[in-house]
Amino acid sequence: MTPLTQRRAWKALEAHHQKIKKLHLRDLFAADPKRGERMTAEAVGIYLDYSKNRITDETLSLLIQLAGESGLRERIDAMFRGEKINITETRAVLHVALRAPRGASIVIDGENVAPRVHAVLDKMSDFSSRVRSGAWKGHTGKPIRNIVNIGIGGSDLGPVMAYEALKHYSDRSLTFRFVSNIDGADFAESVRDLDPSETLFIVASKTFTTLETMTNAHTARDWSLKGLGGDEKAVARHFVAVSTNAAEVAKFGIDTANMFEFWDWVGGRYSMDSAIGLSTMVAIGPDSFRSMLDGFHQMDEHFRTAPFDRNLPVLMGLLAVWYNNLFNAQTVAVLPYDQYLKRFPAYLQQLTMESSGKRVTLAGAEVTCETGPIYWGEPGTNGQHSFYQLIHQGTRLIPCDFIVFGQTLNPPGRHHDMLVANVFAQTEALAFGKTPEQVKAEGTPEWLVPHRVFEGNRPSNTILAERLTPQALGKLVALYEHSVFTQGVIWDIDSFDQWGVELGKVLAQRMIPELESTAEPNLSHDSSTNSLIRRYRRLKESSGPDPAQQ
Ligand code: G6Q
């Protein structure tokens, strides 16, 4: 692939950027009264208003040209065909197969995987229904009331986010907890008020070797057995596994009959709709889970088939590239105006930054441009009372995605109109600002005017959907997944590996014995690391009683 900065469309974009970079959204809107209706796209029930971006029609057509020249169409087709586009791990990338309808045909290495996907979904449905109805009994014969998902990264962030997002649809008689951190406080605080005889652990790990998850799973096993009289048979009633690694699951003591399978062509951060979503299915029930999968699938089909100029993930991906590479914006703020989406920015951080945090191209050459921007955010309106100041009046350009729904799930009172008024008012203020003339006309003393001016021209997308349903959540997540895909194709990177994360998995392993050994270890790190280890060992030995217990 020709390096990005040498592609024809890129050069044209650079020249075009020079020409229009100073254009103000105020002038763009004034020159085209229909801009706010025209620069929008709608598909599968999601409305995207991208008119408040610093673009013209020419920008869009050049970005679409860039997508064409970068081989986006071919790469989309290659992904859906099951080609091994995750080249550094020699794997297909087929999260889209997880939500393909029954009867679809998606072939990897000569095998149609759709029937296997649906067999696992059926097994999950059966299990979830038994837990929800109380038919699945714990070791002492009591029904399960608490479900604790143990996993980390892709095996945690999706389940947590989906549980929070779809809480409205969940069975409120069940309690859900999510344990991820190796910090013992996470496990201890998650189970302190739970009864082991009513608690089921879902150990979710693609590899079933991840230090944090395995450590927490063993602690959970001890906690369970202790609370249940020590009978090893209890494990089968209180532990199930979600994994690709049957051998390790069996070694842990979980009956592989209680294992829910997924496959190496599902990346961790793309796995919330695989068996990794078991906790989600127990929470909202099999029908709602399937409706979420249908939402994913509708967006997949839109992405696969819609022309680029009306393709929501393509448009969002290209706009992300425009700000990241032409305006040198370093971050993107994701601002859901929906309390249920409070974990959505954290979920997106993994999806976007693990996928796009790469510095070499598919061919292994240094990239010639910046890659993944930093994604961050908080639900509105809370963010308005903290970091929005910097977005409005700071020196950095921060493109924002505002997400909002037309209907609330909690109707009483005027809350929803007020919430929505805040979204629209924010995007308007960011785009149009307030000129010195306007500030003066308000009677502001001269010296205060510069402080009260909002220069505006701060870009945003508004994503509007009818209501936060399981289906809508599926569409929203797939929208971002495919936007990330689009960005990765332009940058010509492998969006599906994560060697930086793999590094973290081995680094600490070497050091654990040095912290734990009773004999003074022979340290051969740098002087800083050596003395930190020595200091920690001394601190550990001198630890007194817990002040909370005194
Ligand atoms: C995701 C990453 C990473 C992974 C976790 C957990 O794309 O690979 O976040 O999900 O490290 O891995 P396991 O599921 O194998 O425990």
Question: What does the pLDDT look like over 239-277, one tens digit per residue?
Answer: 999 999 999 999 998 999 999 999 999 999 999 999 999
Out of 88, 209, 498, give the residue to mutate to test ligand 1, the one with the largest number of ligand atoms within 8 Å of its CB.
Answer: 498
Looking at residue 10, what is its pLDDT?
A: 98
* Alpha carbon of 466 to ligand 1 centroid (Å): 33
* Interatomic CA distance for residues 163 and 204, integer angstroms: 15
* Alpha carbon of 534 to ligand 1 centroid (Å): 31
* Interatomic CA distance for residues 338 and 379, integer angstroms: 6
CA dihedral 524, 529, 531, 533 (to 10 degrees): -90
413: confidence class by pLDDT, cuts 50, 70, 90: confident
Looking at residue 531, what is its pLDDT?
A: 98
* Interatomic CA distance for residues 179 and 186, integer angstroms: 6
* Alpha carbon of 19 to ligand 1 centroid (Å): 44
Residue owning the nearest CA to atom 2 of ligand 1: 268
From the alpha carbon of 269, which atom of ligand 1 is closest? 7
From the alpha carbon of 276, which atom of ligand 1 is closest? 14
Nearest Cα neighbor of 469 from 175, 170, 174, 47 is: 170
Looking at residue 310, what is its pLDDT?
A: 98
Nearest Cα neighbor of 458 from 392, 404, 395 is: 392
Out of 89, 149, 155, 182, give the residue to mutate to test ligand 1, the one with the largest number of ligand atoms within 8 Å of its CB.
Answer: 155
- Cβ atoms of residues 262 and 275 within 8 Å: yes
* Interatomic CA distance for residues 102 and 113, integer angstroms: 11
Query: For this structure, is 505 an active site residue?
Result: yes
Residue 176 pairs in a beta bridge with 147
Residue owning the nearest CA to atom 9 of ligand 1: 153
* Alpha carbon of 343 to ligand 1 centroid (Å): 18
Tokens of 294: 């249908």
Name the catalytic one among 164, 354, 378, 481.
Answer: 354
Residue owning the nearest CA to atom 1 of ligand 1: 268
Out of 152, 272, 273, 497, give the residue to mutate to test ligand 1, the one with the largest number of ligand atoms within 8 Å of its CB.
Answer: 152
* Alpha carbon of 463 to ligand 1 centroid (Å): 29
Tokens of 176: 């859900």
Query: For this structure, is 378 an active site residue?
Result: no
Q: Residue 111: what are its φ and ψ, rounded to 5°?
A: -115, 135
Residue 202 pairs in a beta bridge with 149, 240
How does pLDDT run across 464-483, given as a tens digit for each residue? 999 999 999 999 999 999 99
Percentage of the chain exceeding pLDDT 90:
95
Name the catalytic one among 34, 385, 437, 446.
Answer: 385
- Cβ atoms of residues 480 and 300 within 8 Å: no
* Alpha carbon of 487 to ligand 1 centroid (Å): 22
* Interatomic CA distance for residues 379 and 370, integer angstroms: 28
Residue owning the nearest CA to atom 8 of ligand 1: 268
How far from chain centre, in Å, is Cα 210?
20
- Cβ atoms of residues 291 and 471 within 8 Å: yes
Beta carbons within 8 Å of 394's beta carbon, 6+ residues apart: none
Out of 157, 210, 348, 354, give the residue to mutate to test ligand 1, the one with the largest number of ligand atoms within 8 Å of its CB.
Answer: 210
Tokens of 187: 């496990």
> Which residues contact ligand 1 via a Cβ below 6 A?
152-155, 205-207, 210, 213, 267-269, 354, 498, 501
Beta carbons within 8 Å of 479's beta carbon, 6+ residues apart: 46, 299, 312, 313, 316, 463
Looking at residue 363, what is its pLDDT?
A: 97
More confident residue, 501 or 423: 423
Alpha helices in 447-523 (DSSP H): 449-452, 470-491, 499-516
On the question of pLDDT at 278 being above 60, the answer is yes
From the alpha carbon of 153, which atom of ligand 1 is closest? 9
Tokens of 27: 């002038």
* Alpha carbon of 355 to ligand 1 centroid (Å): 12
On the question of pLDDT at 550 being above 60, the answer is no
More confident residue, 548 or 439: 439
CA gyration radius for the chain? 26
Calculate mean pLDDT across residues 357-381: 96
Name the catalytic one among 118, 342, 440, 505.
Answer: 505
From the alpha carbon of 505, which atom of ligand 1 is closest? 11
User: Strand, helix or coil at 148?
Assistant: strand
Looking at residue 53, what is its pLDDT?
A: 98
* Alpha carbon of 293 to ligand 1 centroid (Å): 21
Looking at residue 450, what is its pLDDT?
A: 98
Calculate mean pLDDT across residues 159-180: 98
Calculate mean pLDDT across residues 278-285: 98
Query: For this structure, is 301 an active site residue?
Result: no
545: confidence class by pLDDT, cuts 50, 70, 90: low
Calculate mean pLDDT across residues 7-29: 98
Output the DSSP codes for 188-250.
HHHHTT--GGGEEEEEE-SSS--HHHHHHHHHHHHHHHHHTTT-TTHHHHHEEEEES-HHHHH
Looking at residue 544, what is its pLDDT?
A: 65
Nearest Cα neighbor of 199 from 240, 246, 151 is: 240
User: Phi/psi zone of residue 338: left (φ > 0), alpha (ψ -120 to 50 degrees), beta?
Assistant: beta
pTM over 0.95: yes
How far from chain centre, in Å, is Cα 344?
6
Nearest Cα neighbor of 373 from 478, 491, 455 is: 491
On the question of pLDDT at 543 being above 70, the answer is no
The mean predicted confidence, pLDDT, of the chain is: 96
Looking at residue 160, what is its pLDDT?
A: 98
* Alpha carbon of 427 to ligand 1 centroid (Å): 36
- Cβ atoms of residues 474 and 294 within 8 Å: yes
136 DSSP 8-state letter:
S
* Alpha carbon of 269 to ligand 1 centroid (Å): 7
* Interatomic CA distance for residues 19 and 466, integer angstroms: 38
On the question of pLDDT at 35 being above 70, the answer is yes
